[in-house]
Amino acid sequence: MARVATFSLHTSPLAQPGAGDGGGMNVYVHALASALARAGVEIDVLTRADHAEQPPVVEVEPRYRVVHLDAGPKRPVSRQELVDLVPALTEAARDHLAGASTDAMHANYWVSGAVAHRLKHDLALPLVATFHTLAAVKARAGIADDPVERSEIERDVARCADLLLASTVDERNDLVQRCGADPDRIEILPPGVDRSEFSPGDREAARARLGLDGRRVLLFVGRIQPLKGVDVAIRAVGALGDPRATLLVVGGPSGPEGEVELARLHALVAELGLGEQVRFTAPQPHDALDTFYRAAHVCLVPSRTESFGLVALEAAACATPVVAADVGGLRAVVVDGETGLLVDGYDPDALAAATTELLDDPGLARVMGTRAAARATGFTWGLAAARLRRLVADLGARAPVECR
Torsion region of 166: left, alpha or beta (phi above 0 gives left; psi -120 to 50 gives alpha): beta
pLDDT value, residue 206: 97
Q: Is 190 within 8 Å of 285 (Cβ atoms)?
A: no
- C-alpha atoms less than 13 angstroms from C-alpha of 150 in its C-beta half-sphere: 20
How far apart CA 199 and CA 194 sit, in angstroms, is 9
How far apart CA 173 and CA 188 sit, in angstroms, is 11
Average of per-residue pLDDT across 296-304: 96
Average of per-residue pLDDT across 294-307: 95
- Quote the pTM value: 0.94
Phi and psi at 57, nearest 5°, equal -135, 135
**Which of 398, 380, 198, 230 minimizes the C-alpha distance to 304?**
230
Q: Is 107 within 8 Å of 129 (Cβ atoms)?
A: yes
Average of per-residue pLDDT across 41-61: 95
How far apart CA 102 and CA 285 sit, in angstroms, is 32
Predicted confidence band at 1 (pLDDT cuts at 50, 70, 90)?
low
Written as one letter, the residue type at 184 is: D
Written as one letter, the residue type at 36 is: L
**Neighbouring C-beta atoms of residue 364, cutoff 10 Å:** 15
Predicted confidence band at 53 (pLDDT cuts at 50, 70, 90)?
confident
- Contacts of range 339-348, beta carbons closer than 8 Å, 24 or more positions apart: 339/368, 339/371, 339/372, 339/375, 340/312, 340/316, 340/368, 340/372, 343/302, 346/229, 346/232, 346/302, 346/304, 347/232, 348/232, 348/235, 348/236, 348/238, 348/239
The full set of domains in the chain, from first to last, is 3-192+381-395 (3.40.50.2000), 203-376 (3.40.50.2000)
More confident position, 101 or 4: 4
What b/e readout covers 314-351, taking b as 16+ CB neighbours within 10 angstroms? bbbbbbbbbbbbebbbbbbbbbeeebbbbbeebbbebb
Distances (CA, A) of 107 to 62, 145, 294: 22, 21, 34
How far apart CA 25 and CA 10 sit, in angstroms, is 10
More confident position, 19 or 24: 24
Tens digit of pLDDT for each residue in 124-140?
A: 999 999 999 999 998 88
Residue 276: pLDDT over 60: yes
